[in-house]
Amino acid sequence: MLPPARIGLGCVTFGREIDEAASYALLDHAWEHGVRHFDTAAAYSGGASETILGKWLASRKPEGITIATKILPPYDRIDIAPSLKRLGVDQIDLLYLHRWHDTALQAGAALEKLPVSRFGASNVTLDQLRALGPRFSVIQNNHNLAVSKVSDELRDYCATNEIAIVTYSPLGAGFLTGKHQNGVQAGSRFEIVPGHQDVYFHDAAYQRLARLEAVAKRSGHSQAHLALAWALNQPGIDTVLIGGRTTAQLDQAFAALEFDDPDIFAELAS
């Protein structure tokens, strides 16, 4: 079974929540099931994620893939040599500005000199994307049932200007599974990165979680299955990044990709 390119593997857990062996298992499983988009960042685990991915690339030598990574500001002086070394590549397929910074507007000259095929922007607004100009052909934003930074206006702009949309956190870092309703679970993403709590632990997100719980109970599908299916079937989205710690979590996403019930999706988004 080869799932379409809508699924990419997010490597944020590598070196932080899972070790090299577990990371290799995820990478191998994703590759064997048709995933060809692998997403990391220089900031993930202080470079450990890039290093693990680079070792896997060297040992497996996969072809026909996209390797995406991200750099932090300031962007008026950019050095991707550390990322190239950790990944073991001469060129980056897709390089994101990891978050908005005013120096992005002066990054043109620095970007021109880089061995990069495509440039993208992560965690930016529509106005910021417009300001960046045509050099940027990909955007990566958070998008799930609880929290979304992908508006209809952003989708329309991207469609008109041939900008690909990549989304992440289809399960809201585990929030949409409902496991944190009685407090943050030990060892979870919300404990490891407490800043994520402010993104999800608020009334609007809890209201959407309650709706998901109700639809899951009525339909007989798990909350995780419905949340993943909703994210994977959103219009105008080119790739959804799936992360995790086990191959079973990837299989959960592959199964959700096959689910298509417009009535349930409409109910979830109402």
Tell me whether the omega of the peptide bond preceding residue 74 falls within 30 degrees of 0, making it cis. Answer: yes
What distances in angstroms separate CA 82 from CA 51, 79, 87, 108, 140, one per listed residue? Answer: 10, 7, 9, 20, 22
Supply the pLDDT for residue 179.
Answer: 73
8 Å CB contact between 28 and 59: no
8 Å CB contact between 185 and 215: no
Domain ranges of the chain: 7-174+234-260
Supply the pLDDT for residue 182.
Answer: 65
Give the global pTM: 0.94
Print pLDDT tens along the chain (270 aa). 445 568 999 999 999 999 999 999 999 999 999 999 999 999 999 999 999 999 999 999 999 999 999 999 999 889 999 999 999 999 999 999 999 999 999 999 899 999 999 999 999 999 999 999 999 999 999 999 999 999 999 999 999 999 999 999 999 989 999 877 766 676 666 766 777 778 888 999 999 999 999 999 999 999 999 999 999 999 999 999 999 999 999 999 999 999 999 999 999 988
What distances in angstroms separate CA 261 from CA 144, 211, 232, 234, one per listed residue? Answer: 17, 16, 12, 12
CA atoms lying within 13 Å on the CB side of residue 24: 10
Pairwise CA distance, residues 241 & 50, whole Å: 16
Positive or negative: CA dihedral 28, 83, 192, 140: negative
CATH topology of domain 7-174+234-260: TIM Barrel (3.20.20)
Radius of gyration of the chain (CA): 18
